[in-house]
Amino acid sequence: MSSDLFMPSTETIFTQESEGTMIVNMGPQHPSTHGVLRVICELDGETIVKAKCVIGYLHTGMEKEAEYQTYHKCVVMTDRMDYLNANGNNLAHALAVEKLLGIEVPKRGQYLRVILAELSRLASHCVWLGTHALDMGAMTPFFYI
C-alpha cells in the first residue's frame, strides 16, 4: 500500500476562473456542520457557484488499533466510534466476541441488550431530527425532543 494514501492532497481543487468569485474553505470543523466535513466553495457574491465535498476526516483507524488490543479493552474504543449510539457499537463488538468464544448469553441479557440498543437508536434519531430542525431555524425541537 502506498504511503501517499495517508498524505494530505496538494492538488488544486478550484482555480479562480472569473473576476468576482471567491474560494472559501468551510471546515473541516465548522460550527454549522454536524460532523466532520470539509466543503470547498466557489462563491459569486452570496451565490455558491461550485462546491467540492471532502470526506474522510472522521476515520480514526480504530479497526487497526483494535488488532493490538485484547477483546475487553476494545469495548472502550467502540464507545467512541459513535457518541450518540455507543450501545449499538458495543453490542456489535460483544456479539462478535461471544460468537468467536462460543458464549451463550441468557435470554434476560439478550432482552436487556435489545432494549438498550433501541433506546440508544431512538435518542440518536431524536438528535438527528432536532439538529436538522435547528438548521432550518426551529430551536424548540432540539431543546425539547
Average pLDDT for 122-136:
86
Structural domains in the chain (count): 2
Range among 65-79, 93-107, 118-132 with highest mean pLDDT value: 93-107
Tell me what pLDDT residue 131 has: 82
- Exposed, middle or buried: residue 37 (CB in 10 Å: 0-12, 13-18, 19+)? middle
Average pLDDT for 133-139:
83
Same domain for 99 and 77? yes
CA distance 90 to 79: 6
| Average pLDDT, rounded, for the chain | 82
Same domain for 104 and 44? no
Tell me what pLDDT residue 33 has: 64
Same domain for 71 and 120? yes
Same domain for 95 and 76? yes
Tell me what pLDDT residue 120 has: 92
Q: Where are the beta strands (DSSP E) in 1-145?
A: 21-26, 38-44, 47-54
Same domain for 85 and 109? yes
Tell me what pLDDT residue 135 has: 78
Return all residues near 95 (Cβ < 8 A) that are at least 6 apart: none
Residues spanned by the domain of 11:
3-54
More reliable by pLDDT, 15 or 95? 95
Tell me what pLDDT residue 6 has: 47
CA distance 88 to 81: 10
Same domain for 17 and 70? no
CA distance 26 to 141: 26
Tell me what pLDDT residue 31 has: 63
Share of the chain above pLDDT 90, in %: 23
Tell me what pLDDT residue 13 has: 62
Confidence of residue 102 (pLDDT cuts 50, 70, 90): very high
